[in-house]
Amino acid sequence: MPEPDSRSPTNLFDLSGRVAVVTGGSRGLGREMVLAFARSGADVVIASRKLEACEALAEEVRSATGRSALAVVCHVGRWADCDALVERCYEAFGQVDVLVNNAGMSPLYDSLPEVSEELWDKVQAVNLRGPFRLSSLIGARMADGQGGSIINVSSVAAERPSPIEIPYAAAKAGLNNMTIGMARVFGPKVRVNCIQPGPFLTDISEAWDMEMFERAAASSIALRRGGQAHEIVGAALYLASGASSFTTGAVIRVDGGIG
């Protein structure tokens, strides 16, 4: 029989034999990426602060796709938790081929002078420090081994921050910068890229004033709407797979065309 064509669309996006780790993986965009990776053949590690939610998704992955799924409780803002997550992944699977730094947080505040040191540090820890630590540890192992793909999840706030998310925006701008730097550090065997989402209608959007959002979207977003969580999957599969073999240090907007 002829060898399969590695350039065919099906094979380009195939993740069979690979292990993908997704932080913030139990809900929202992370959940959709976990399911997409498993459907494409990857074994998955689902990490978040809520072990029960991770375990429920892990069981869904196993029953729906037959892939192995490991649930790990991890607060990525804590250095020790990041170290423990890395060790757990390699103990369970012996490899990590895809790391998605998806966990994030953006707590509300009344005014900039009222932003506490604790809030600032917490936002930087989850959105920037954790991805730095995980990428440093896993990226180094990938570079010493068979290579891999690191995907950071940023935000349009990194370039166009609103008044209510300055600490978060600063952290995400740092994540964009880190993406470019680490692509140079870990190349040529490891690709490091970033997805920069716009507004997605996940569980977080349940707190939004949707009438106000829809009015704003009609004038400021080319597609005139927010994204659905599954619409992140195309970019994630592209960056995780061989389809993006010549893409690194890139920040890819998935924002509906925000002006």
| 239: exposed, middle or buried (Cβ count in 10 Å: 0-12, 13-18, 19+) | buried
Residue type, 119: L
- CA angle (155, 157, 161) in 5-degree steps: 175
Residues assigned a catalytic role: 154, 168, 172
> What is the Cα 111 distance to its own chain's centre?
29
How far is Cα 84 from Cα 109, in angstroms, rounded to an integer? 32
CB 182 within 8 A of CB 196: no
How far is Cα 155 from Cα 31, in angstroms, rounded to an integer? 17
